[in-house]
Structure 1
Amino acid sequence: MEIFLCRHGETDHNSSSIVQGHMEVELNEKGSSQAVKLADKLARLEPDYLYSSPLLRTMQTSKEISDQTGLEIREESLLKEVDQGDFEGETVQVMIEAMNNAESENHEWAPKNGESMEEARERAARFLQKLKEKHQNQTVAAVAHGGFKSVMILEALGHNSKNFNKIAQDNCCINVIKLDSEHGTVVQKVNDTSHLEEKN
């Protein structure tokens, strides 16, 4: 099985470094353009199935992919962004300062009314297991979020979420994860944005 793990297009909150978490935020003009280019790339890669986080920014990105590939969007709550609780709507810097001042390690710290990166990694593990059970020898595209995709990549590599902040995930990037019985799980590509530089 091959997974094309993608991030949604840019939002104004992304460009302003505002924590989004589970907030419903639309793509901005740049993000919509990125989604078109991501969809064009995925249409050439020809995935068999399309999964998406149900949040607005991922669904808008997935709608473009669906329009270009003809694939039905399968909404999947396991793909939601890490729940940032009371920090949603705050600046990223404010949340980082709170995380660094906490007694627990960063990946185990959870904002009030939110979840930790380690809890999100466990959610990613459930999604990967679901794909293994349903889509052997098939190709799946999944549209999710920057923080969540970082811990999903770490889960695929067999690591905990401690190094979540060391994996870059730009808007509308593609990561390629391959799972087979001979080699196990192999992360073949991370944060590929070369398709965004292509001219339409």
Structure 2
Amino acid sequence: MEKLSTVIFLIRHGQTDRAYSTDPNLDGERILTEQGRAQLNKVGEYLKSFAPSKIYSSPVKRTIESAEVIKEQIGDITIETTQRLFEVYSNERFNESFTDGPKFLQELAQKHTGEHIICVSHQDVIEQFVRGLGATNEEAQFPCKTAQGYRVVLAQDIFVEITKISPADAV
């Protein structure tokens, strides 16, 4: 079964220079702090042992920076940005991410069968993806703090298991 399984690591960006803003233009300009970079270095060290084949990222600065720090630890891996991991700023998009998130993960599982991949995103997006897969609050242990995430296993496009990961908690 392991060869047919795809493991997707949903990782929240590292600590940023200022708090969340409901204005997407301002919020999109947030950047990682030194602590945020240190957090993502730990995450990258942890993920390196899984030999991931690809990193997907939300197209905003803090997630791209987070993906790049992870890549520095892993080595030769490509980063692709996608709007499907973008921060949610409206109720309409929030509700949409509940159904689109699992569909996106299933598409990734079909495209990357037998591989380990990384998706760098935002707390609300990750929570909606995980809830949309049917994970319970007990399994998910919400909220997902900075540089935390989830190891999601899909067999073909069927959700198998989820585990919360916190490799940077000591930073």
Report the TM range for the smaller structure's normalisation.
0.7 to 0.9
| Alpha-carbon shift at residue 123 of structure 1 (Å) | 2.9
Task: Say yes or no: does 1:77 pair with 2:78.
Answer: no
Quick check: 1:141 aligned with 2:118? yes
Matching residue's letter, 1:150? E
AA in 1 matched with 2:147: C
The one of 35, 39, 50 equivalent to 2:40 is 35
Deviation (angstroms), 1:18: 4.3
Could you tell me how far apart the structure 1 residues matched to 2:71 and 2:135 are? Answer: 31
1:137-172 deviation line (CA, Å, top 9, x unaligned)? 11111111100000000112279xxxxxx7211101
Task: Say which of 65, 68, 72 aligns to 1:60.
Answer: 65
- Larger % of strand: which? 2
Cα distance in 1 for residues equivalent to 2:99 and 2:155: 21
Q: Show structure 2 runs of 5+ residues with no match.
A: 1-5
Unpaired segments ≥5 residues, structure 1: 85-109, 160-165
Q: How does 1:108-127 map to 2 (within 5 A)?
A: 110=91, 115-127=92-104
Q: Indicate the larger mover: 139-148 or 26-35.
A: 26-35
CA distance in structure 1 between the partners assigned to 2:69 and 2:134 by the alignment: 30
Change (3 A) 1:20 1:168: farther
Q: Is the 8 A contact 2:32 2:62 kept in 1?
A: yes
- Code of the residue aligned with 1:5 in structure 2: it is L
Q: Which residue of 1 aligns with 2:169?
A: 196
State percent identity of aligned pairs.
25
Aligned AA (2:101):
A
> 1:37 and 1:19, CA in 2 relative to 1: closer, same or farther beyond 3 A?
farther
Equivalent pair of 1:38/1:196 in contact (CA under 8 Å): no
Match of 1:26?
Answer: 31
What letter is aligned with 1:189? T
* 2:3 matched residue in structure 1: none
| 8 Å contact from structure 1 (residues 120, 148) kept in 2 | yes
Q: Which digits, 9 at most, give the CA deviation of each residue in 1:55-79, with x for residues without a partner?
A: 1000001001112212110111111
When the two structures are aligned, how many residues end up with a matched partner? 159
Higher relative contact order (CA 8 A, sep 6+): 2
Structure 1 moving runs of 4+ over 3 Å: 17-22
